């Protein structure tokens, strides 16, 4: 009976964790053969332009996969104009182009617009530190990104993206799909993961009372010390965010766990492992 109870708890935790990963974290949304073939065919049909773009990016210390931004923006068509008035391979709006000294009539100039795009993308990366948010900002503007971050109380795309325009969310999905087709998705996602780690470390170092907390439910099977160990934070911090949680778990067998919004995804990703360790180490200590 005791073994079955453990298995039920572990299964529930695994399903919760899996649902969170699928719902919140990033991946390609279309890995079909037709999608891959479509993107690859466009690249091959525009090989000369693609080679120039890749060279221009690498020359400035930027990754080649940024060629995929031009791919989803315009299919490398320098003469295209969107319904909103964006022009050229990089789909520059007049204001964005002027910001970097690119005149309105030069937006369809492949050489000048690519040089301008490289400068713009490099500046955005210095600000956001990951290419996923850069792609979003390139599409909807830094103002919309700032508003979304403020509403979500988070600087992480998978948290604040729900406050962005649907067009921007779809744009990021297209970018990830294109990167899957070109075999560069793992690099883009690793870059995003590294950025999240840095962001979490900074959040922990600068944590002060008043930072928004997110909540989730845990039961008495969870050991708070193991939660602290897996998240690499002092036990005192967990208790400061959750006064009375020990008594709540002891008396009711369950409690709400509060963690900083930017730290909660790490807990949910490790939830199954934390519970498994808690049960295992609790069983050993009781023998």
Residues 6+ apart with CB under 8 A from 223: 274, 277, 278, 281, 282
> Cα(19)–Cα(13) distance, rounded to whole angstroms?
10
CATH of domain 31-205: 1.10.530.10
Query: Would you state the structure tokens that stand for residue 180, as one six-digit string?
Result: 């899957």
Q: What is the mean pLDDT of each run of 10 residues along the chain (287 residues)?
A: 41 39 67 97 97 96 97 95 92 90 90 95 94 96 93 87 96 98 95 77 56 87 94 90 85 86 90 92 60
Characterise 103 by phi-psi region: left (phi > 0), alpha (psi -120 to 50), beta (else): beta
Residue 205 confidence (pLDDT): 54
Residue 178 confidence (pLDDT): 98
Residue 201 confidence (pLDDT): 60
Residue 213 confidence (pLDDT): 86
Instruction: Convert the pLDDT of each residue in 233-279 to its tens digit.
Output: 999 889 888 888 888 788 778 888 999 888 899 999 999 999 999 99
Q: CA Rg, the chain, in Å?
A: 23
Full-model pTM: 0.66
The pair phi, psi for residue 44, each rounded to 5°, is: -65, -35
Query: Would you state the structure tokens that stand for residue 139, as one six-digit string?
Result: 């599409």
- What are the sequence ranges of the domains in the chain? 2-19+207-286, 31-205
């Amino acid at each position: 009976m005791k073994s079955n109870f453990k298995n039920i708890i572990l299964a529930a935790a695994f399903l919760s964790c899996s649902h969170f990963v699928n719902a919140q974290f990033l991946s390609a949304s279309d890995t079909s053969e037709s999608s891959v073939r479509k993107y690859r065919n466009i690249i091959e049909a525009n090989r000369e332009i693609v080679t120039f773009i890749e060279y221009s990016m690498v020359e400035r210390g930027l990754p080649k996969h940024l060629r995929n931004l031009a791919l989803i923006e315009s299919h490398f068509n320098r003469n295209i104009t969107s319904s909103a008035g964006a022009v050229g391979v990089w789909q520059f709006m007049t204001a964005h182009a002027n910001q970097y000294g690119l005149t309105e009539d030069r937006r369809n100039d492949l050489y000048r617009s690519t040089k301008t795009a490289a400068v713009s993308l490099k500046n955005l990366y210095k600000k956001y530190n990951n290419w996923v948010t850069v792609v979003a900002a390139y599409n909807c503007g830094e103002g919309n990104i700032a508003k979304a971050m403020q509403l979500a109380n988070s600087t992480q795309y998978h948290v604040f993206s729900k406050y962005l325009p649907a067009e921007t969310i779809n744009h990021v999905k297209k970018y990830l799909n294109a990167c899957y087709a070109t075999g560069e998705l793992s690099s883009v996602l690793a870059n995003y993961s590294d950025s999240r780690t840095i962001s979490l470390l900074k959040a922990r170092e600068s944590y002060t009372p008043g930072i928004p907390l997110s909540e989730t439910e845990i039961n008495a099977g969870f050991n708070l010390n193991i939660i602290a160990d897996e998240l690499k934070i002092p036990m005192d911090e967990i208790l400061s965010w959750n006064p009375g949680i020990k008594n709540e778990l002891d008396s009711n067998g369950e409690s709400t766990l509060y963690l900083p919004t930017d730290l909660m995804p790490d807990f949910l990703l490790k939830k199954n492992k934390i519970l498994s360790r808690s049960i295992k180490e609790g069983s050993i200590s009781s023998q």
